[in-house]
Structure 1
């Protein structure tokens, strides 16, 4: 049971509504666009991952009591079916032009397709028109193209016609696939998705266990780690070099969600997931929190735990809050509830943009707004989920949309 201060819970719930209001500005003719620091649309192609995230957020907004988000959720579902979908080869384009509707990046990405599954699942939970159609298509594509059953991972990227595959496997895409599988399991009841989510989670935990709880992120097609991958581009937004502090925290929460989902039908189940989630979070906090003379989580470290990229990404503290909340429930330890307070205070002080809305997506090593990796405020997914999780005191399973729908 969590013992987060009531004023913190109220503040986070209020912030969830403020983030929803900011997110409405992303509406475009064919989907949802990338917003700048002031909340204005940036002139650039529409990204599949952003459109999926905002569709998911809109469904959660509707399910949390904001009826005006029904239209936004429906717009997102229509965008995915009518604009992003590749009707010739199947799957979804990585990016499209908002004016013409033509694909500006026709590749098929596992990261973005995981979010198609998530958006569709949330729309189904919210009982939106055409949501079942979208989820059926997304499941077919993922099963046929992305899932690698003998490795418990996903293919990273294909050409538009699915002929060429990138010789790379990534834990980032696998992580969001686990998130999506849990959501699909919740709305379909199909056990195979929970089985896959657990298998991938246990695989990643085994790799982390071998490396003092630092997760290897990058692999070749034989699932052999590539520890020096992107050493020359360490601050990459999706494939940074080294250990990514925020991903350890995100995996910690997901591991506990897998455990909670299992325990819904087997109260004695553990799977070693509480201990592993605690180890992951402890390592991330030791390596990443306030290690360079200022509060905040560094973005990445090397394999000995030394900081590499000192920038503070907003999503990392969001995932820290989520992990601490989950660990507070799973362990009953007060230190995790205290951590929620500490990291919320940090977000309140440095990240929340009271003037323009949403959260600064990146800060420098001294907690001033920066834009070396992220330009503007692409979406509200991470911050909204963190605020909703604590503000609405959601369970660790089922996942967000189903939990809200059952209320």
Structure 2
């Protein structure tokens, strides 16, 4: 587990995206490559894919100084602003057709958060005033439209015109619930990055409040697992253990709280204790005997497939726990998952399989690139490990 390994992995992933996904006819990036490696040039273009492309290339350009990564970030930013941005009602459309025309105008707060996350990273790369203005606009957009003044936290979704919808779901597999862990987690992630661009008291206050919501509402104090879905008044809707989100949340909470070390050291101490509880549970229950990290479980049902994104988050999450404690077992867990990932997930062309069967063979029914498969989890893992191993 070395810096050169992660640097090579980063360049291989982004090289695949530059070689495969640029849509030179209609602009931006193609919407889908299936699990067999087949490009679908007329596939719809999703906002999660495109905001994550911007984040991934901007973050990589900042870390490496590579001009080709910066050019990809410029391309992604321009396409988001020219095509996804709703200039009448504000925010980002959910889906465009392959020509860049709006197809689904709903406003998922998760998507607006990824817009803020990506725009913040792009500003950190460019330092241009117009990009700072976009960051502030999206912070205000989320606060003005999505914050729940009555019960606290953030509502899940709205129509294009920012009215409450009948269906809040982020994806068909989710519950139709007014509040979710996933949206709150990624609003917190976005606000953490936003604060790096603008130390405005409103941003710091919103982030601090959101950390408290995560600690009090979403993390189960007995196990460290996360509650996933609530009604608007915080009535719990379901119990599913999402190990991938647990370990991802553990290190994102640590990152979010770090900016409060001077202002609120007690909050940092509480957050790190919770993060370690989550990491401990994940290490004890979340690692398969072959070294892969599990995705989720519900009652007696366990998902025995291996998915790409929990591997990436677990490598960072366990190494983060090692850094907090010095416990070599956490580092060993990260090394084990990294070894499994290198041996099973990574294609010769650079991108990762979405899903493997229990025996470690690829399941090609899931995309290599698409609305939910982007240069985000694995790119961020590479960048985080390069940074952390270099400290």
Same fold (TM over 0.5): yes
Q: Does 1:204 align with 2:214?
A: yes
Q: What is residue 367 of structure 2 aligned with on the other side?
A: 375
Kindly indicate whether the alpha-carbon contact (under 8 Å) linking 2:312 and 2:378 is maintained by their aligned counterparts in 1. Answer: yes
Q: What is residue 28 of structure 2 aligned with on the other side?
A: 31
Kindly indicate whether the alpha-carbon contact (under 8 Å) linking 1:34 and 1:50 is maintained by their aligned counterparts in 2. Answer: no
SS at match of 1:262: coil
Measured against aligned partners, the alpha-carbon deviations of 1:305-350 in whole angstroms (never above 9, x if no partner) come to x443222111001110111121122222222222221111111111
Count of residue pairs brought into register by the alignment: 370
TM-score (norm 2): 0.87
CA distance in structure 2 between the partners assigned to 1:69 and 1:340 by the alignment? 27
Measured against aligned partners, the alpha-carbon deviations of 1:26-62 in whole angstroms (never above 9, x if no partner) come to 2223433333346654332110011000001111122
In structure 2, the CA distance between the partners of 1:69 and 1:198, relative to structure 1 (3 Å rule), is same
Q: What is residue 280 of structure 2 aligned with on the other side?
A: 282
Kindly indicate whether the alpha-carbon contact (under 8 Å) linking 2:291 and 2:340 is maintained by their aligned counterparts in 1. Answer: yes
CA distance in structure 2 between the partners assigned to 1:41 and 1:27 by the alignment? 11
1:98: how far off? 2.4
- Please give the residue correspondences for 1:229-268 in structure 2 after superposition, counting only pairs within 5 Å: 242-263=240-261
Q: Does 1:163 align with 2:163?
A: yes
1:139: how far off? 2.1
CA distance in structure 2 between the partners assigned to 1:363 and 1:205 by the alignment? 33
SS at match of 2:51: helix
Q: What is residue 147 of structure 2 aligned with on the other side?
A: 147
Greater alpha carbon shift after TM alignment, 170-179 vs 21-30 = 21-30
Measured against aligned partners, the alpha-carbon deviations of 1:149-190 in whole angstroms (never above 9, x if no partner) come to 564522111111112333521110111111100000010112
Greater alpha carbon shift after TM alignment, 167-176 vs 331-340 = 331-340
What is the RMSD of the two structures over their aligned residues, measured on CA atoms?
2.4
In structure 2, the CA distance between the partners of 1:337 and 1:151, relative to structure 1 (3 Å rule), is farther
In structure 2, the CA distance between the partners of 1:51 and 1:363, relative to structure 1 (3 Å rule), is same
1:23: how far off? 2.2
CA distance in structure 1 between the partners assigned to 2:133 and 2:200 by the alignment? 17
CA distance in structure 2 between the partners assigned to 1:191 and 1:394 by the alignment? 32
Q: 2:384 aligns with which of 361, 385, 389?
A: 389
In structure 2, the CA distance between the partners of 1:315 and 1:102, relative to structure 1 (3 Å rule), is same
What stretches of structure 1 of length at least 5 have no aligned partner?
229-241, 397-407
Q: 1:320 aligns with which of 314, 317, 329?
A: 314
Measured against aligned partners, the alpha-carbon deviations of 1:224-265 in whole angstroms (never above 9, x if no partner) come to 11116xxxxxxxxxxxxx111110001100121123222255
Q: What is residue 296 of structure 1 aligned with on the other side?
A: 292
What stretches of structure 2 of length at least 5 have no aligned partner?
169-176
Q: What is residue 353 of structure 2 aligned with on the other side?
A: 360
Kindly indicate whether the alpha-carbon contact (under 8 Å) linking 2:59 and 2:121 is maintained by their aligned counterparts in 1. Answer: yes
Q: 1:349 aligns with which of 343, 350, 357?
A: 343
Kindly indicate whether the alpha-carbon contact (under 8 Å) linking 2:308 and 2:352 is maintained by their aligned counterparts in 1. Answer: yes
Kindly indicate whether the alpha-carbon contact (under 8 Å) linking 1:85 and 1:92 is maintained by their aligned counterparts in 2. Answer: yes
CA distance in structure 1 between the partners assigned to 2:383 and 2:222 by the alignment? 33
In structure 2, the CA distance between the partners of 1:223 and 1:73, relative to structure 1 (3 Å rule), is same
TM-score (norm 1): 0.84
Q: What is residue 83 of structure 2 aligned with on the other side?
A: 83
